[in-house]
Chains A and B, each alone.
Chain A
């Protein structure tokens, strides 16, 4: 039973992990929690749906194109909501990302209406059995694409100059600027990357749920996953995503599915009480 629940959690966990990663890279580079991350995810799903269903592009092309568009969107958000406020207090920037999220959500609702649409299945949702555990091609596809995305992500982060610049900026902005890294350009790249991650998460999530302008609230889960993982650690974010999905499913099965999200929130408060730095994070210490 537990094994089956774990397998069921993999697809959802992948999506949480990708969203959490978006939160964490922006936080590390820009010291901001981007509350528009969920809306970027919704945007990715919407754009993917439009390109695939209405423009009749192939799934792969629609997938890549919507990632690219969301990367542009992410960079745009950085330009509008972050850069003019770079020297403002933290909470001003946080609020401006909340505002951007609201603008995206209501903009999509005005353009496409409140109607719900579902993403036509690319992989079948028929159950497959393997060693006594049941899953579907759809879930396997989601996990496979997530692993691919994570590999690309690791590759960019560890082997390209862009990735090094991101790491350096996250460690020390002034130091990075001194060695010739353009911090503002790096910021814009990080936000673009987070937009791309959100798009992947959105498109992968789309066949599992219905698409509405409000589906961005799932970004909330990525956010909780990021807190669980520690909010400063990239592997922590991924781990947090899977742990959260597993915890949710366990609670849903053994306790109450209606109050699942409430119980998860209580658990989050408990985690913060016992281990504020999360699973793999380190305490954020401000040096004077």
Chain B
């Protein structure tokens, strides 16, 4: 009997919304694992499929091994957060026995998710067309850079290249300079969210109809859908993207450029980043006034200096035309205050202001994230008590939080094969001997040795 049938018979527990949903997670690096991480956070049983000879790049990320922790594939902080709450299966799907075992697993699962280059899974005999014969209502999400269809489906992307191709990079930066772009793989974060969204949407469709389906997601195209009204400004108005004063940095309109549009929201001034007391690398704040009234309030907060009372600043048009002078005046004031007090002073008066927060600020100094319990400590075998990022949504009827630590590579192979699929200890040991569950030439971690020992003891 499948998990879903159990659910329909009312055996489902209600702690977490996706309790009882099983996900076979073939993804690696960031976007795919981040997608499956959200399915785990919502309660799904996510089984991460790996092979030690072709290790997930985040397991090799030397920048996030804490000092004093023995380096290795189970020791990186970024892998940990990206894969929290999953189970670990090591299996060689290019070995006939491995392929059989993974097919058995998929036949008792609800979702398959993968982010290889397009059509790799089909080459391994694990494409949608093959798998739907095993499990007709399987939800199968593919997350390739350019998608599975279209003439350039084989083009590869990582976050920054996908961002460049999607138009997102060109939206960001100072006019007359090369694009600043995005200082991280935004489309790995967002591509990941989309992967989760696709799986959840297709599960909803399965609830409606009993049908599974293949969802063909493109990371690069995801980016195009996130350029706001820039697309329509071109397709409808024919506006050229390469133009004077664009992109306008943190402003809504660059001084001297026509007041036509701003793809992030309403046109406003002031609307900029300003230095704050200390002058350190991240001692900056942002201030935005969306109306003349908000400007008047800000002038009061500034202490009504003479320059700010000048009538040329009283209406939006004048503030846009004189932004340099206005921003200079504002910055003289912001430079005298620490960024958090500045935001508090402004917000208390009704002025929109926020500190620019670094990673350290968000973990250590952000009173809101602290109040909301954004970081949860979970014990991790290598990292000790480790802070994991929580969910930005609270469901009052379901517990939604980090489900547990990430798996060590291959940590749950024997329990998945034995307890779940009913493989005998003898078969399991044979698989280890033949390089199905661990590469013959790769040294085994103690927990792998231990699982083998336990199987041997049971056989004896």
Q: Do A and B bind each other?
A: no
Q: Which residues of A contact B (CB under 8 A)?
A: none
Q: Which residues of B contact A (CB under 8 A)?
A: none
